[in-house]
Structure 1
Amino acid sequence: MEDREILKLVGARIKALRKEEGLSQEALGEKGGFHFTYIGQIERGEKNVSLVNLAKIAEALEVNLTQLFGFVNEEMKQTESEMIIQEVADMLRKTTPSNILLSRNIIREILKMSHGTSS
């Protein structure tokens, strides 16, 4: 994988996460301590951003640093199920511990019911 391709993939992932959060480039820049033009350059793959700045961007997006590398390309295809599991995990990371337990219990019951009806 070429350097430029990695920069574009990470930039596209940051842009997707920013849009999911409903943030403009300016709002993300303010939260992370960057100028909005720098955010735009990162999103377009024009800047080789440092790990320290990636950590600041992840914090501003309220995601784990590793989530910035959750991009999909031809060499690293995720199945639709894996993408849905990741989406659910992302939602759970942003909620309370009691909601996490409730969600786990609901999922457990749904799976029990689906296994019971298919047997």
Structure 2
Amino acid sequence: MQDKEVLKLVGARIRVLRKEKGLSQEALGEKGGFHFSYIGQIERGEKNVSLLNVAKIAKALDVNLIQLFSYVSEDPKMMESDLEIIEIITMLRKSSPEKVRLARNVMRELTSGGEQNHSR
């Protein structure tokens, strides 16, 4: 992965999260203590933003830092199944470890095509 590609992927992810929160670049900039043009440069992959500023952006977006590195396609259109997968992940993050294991086992059964695969 080339340097510029990383910048573009993280920038695209920040843009998606900002839009999901209904924030303009200016509003995000105000919440994080940045000028809106700086937010635009980050979103376009033009700025190599410091880790400290990434943390400020995550806080301003009210997301975990790791969520900024969950790359998204530069294509803003998501498949309906992608949205359903995100919903499942969100539900699992709120579940107990036992329920997560149960869900994993159900998924193994669904994706195994009837094969017996009970390895951990």
Q: Do both share a fold (TM > 0.5)? A: yes
Residue 87 of structure 1 and its aligned partner are, at CA, apart by 4.0
Aligned to 2:112: none
Aligned to 2:76: none
TM-score by length of 1: 0.66
- Which secondary structure does the structure 2 equivalent of 1:68 belong to? helix
- Which secondary structure does the structure 1 equivalent of 2:49 belong to? coil
- For residues 18 and 87 of structure 1, what CA distance do their matches in structure 2 show? 18
Aligned to 1:18: 18
Residue 89 of structure 1 and its aligned partner are, at CA, apart by 4.9
Structure 1 residues 58 and 45: alpha-carbon distance in aligned structure 2, compared to 1, 3 A threshold: same
Residue 38 of structure 1 and its aligned partner are, at CA, apart by 0.2
- For residues 87 and 32 of structure 1, what CA distance do their matches in structure 2 show? 27
Aligned to 1:56: 56
Residue 88 of structure 1 and its aligned partner are, at CA, apart by 5.1
How high is the sequence identity, in percent, across the aligned residues? 70
TM-score by length of 2: 0.65
Structure 1 residues 92 and 20: alpha-carbon distance in aligned structure 2, compared to 1, 3 A threshold: farther
Residue 90 of structure 1 and its aligned partner are, at CA, apart by 4.8
- For residues 54 and 31 of structure 1, what CA distance do their matches in structure 2 show? 13
Q: State whether structure 2 residue 41 is matched by structure 1 residue 44.
A: no
Paired amino acid for 1:43: E
Residue 72 of structure 1 and its aligned partner are, at CA, apart by 3.6
Structure 1 residues 34 and 16: alpha-carbon distance in aligned structure 2, compared to 1, 3 A threshold: same
Q: Is the 8 A contact 2:12 2:72 kept in 1?
A: no
Aligned to 1:8: 8
User: Structure 2 stretches of 5 or more lacking a match?
Assistant: 74-79, 107-120
RMSD: 3.0
